[in-house]
Amino acid sequence: MISNVKIIQLPKILDERGNLSVIEEFKNTPFKIERAYWIYDVPGGEVRGGHAYKKNEEFIVALSGSFDVLLNDGKEEETFYLNRSYYGLYVPNGIWRQIKNFSTNSLALILSSTIYDENDYIRDYEVFKDLRND
Ligand code: TYD
């Protein structure tokens, strides 16, 4: 098990008119939300991610469809299959992550604790491993 990673169940308001779920910062995310982005129209077989963040934390939700989130802390690897819009995966900083096996028309919402900063990325897995295993 990779420490601090967790699946967080979101509120689900069932209604005959259609269901509703909600995310409020600090209540449902362990961090202040500075940014939201989403990944969509992913061609079959493509892989997103393949990096770690020095500071940024993430909260990933499969708003539609399904995909796998592969996490690696430099020692262990764990895969989370997300396929419900009322579960979020919390990923702390310092974790290598990839997202793959996107279903057709899947939509990945990613809430982030920092604004976009290319300098926060570690894009070389060997560099990441060296940093983690120091
Ligand atoms: P990247 O984070 O590498 O995508 P993924 O992890 O899904 O593979 O980002 C892809 C490109 O999009 C990269 O050139 C930077 C840009 N980008 C932004 O401009 N702002 C953002 O918030 C994000 C996440 C990416």
Ligand 1 neighbours by CB, cut-off 6 Å: 35, 37, 39, 48-49, 51, 116
Distance set, CA 23 to CA 18, 28, 33, 96, 123 (Å): 17, 6, 10, 24, 29
Q: Which two tokens stand for residue 121?
A: 């990325």
What are the residue ranges of helices labelled H in the chain? 125-132
| Spacing of C-alpha 132 from chain mean position | 20
What's the whole-model pTM score? Answer: 0.97
To test the pocket of ligand 1, the residue of 37, 54, 68, 106 to mutate (highest count of ligand atoms within 8 Å of its CB) is: 37
- Hey, whose CA ends up nearest to atom 14 of ligand 1? 118
Q: How confident is the model at residue 134 (pLDDT cuts 50, 70, 90)?
A: confident
6 belongs to the catalytic site: no
pLDDT digits (tens, 9 = 90+) for 29-49: 999 999 999 999 999 999 999
Evaluate whether 31 touches 25 at the Cβ level (below 8 Å).
Answer: yes
- Hey, whose CA ends up nearest to atom 5 of ligand 1? 49
Q: How confident is the model at residue 7 (pLDDT cuts 50, 70, 90)?
A: very high
Ligand 1 atom nearest 118 alpha carbon: 15
Which pLDDT score, from 0 to 100, does residue 56 have?
98
pLDDT digits (tens, 9 = 90+) for 63-94: 999 999 999 999 999 999 999 999 999 999 99
pLDDT digits (tens, 9 = 90+) for 92-121: 999 999 999 999 999 999 999 999 999 999
| Spacing of C-alpha 29 from chain mean position | 12
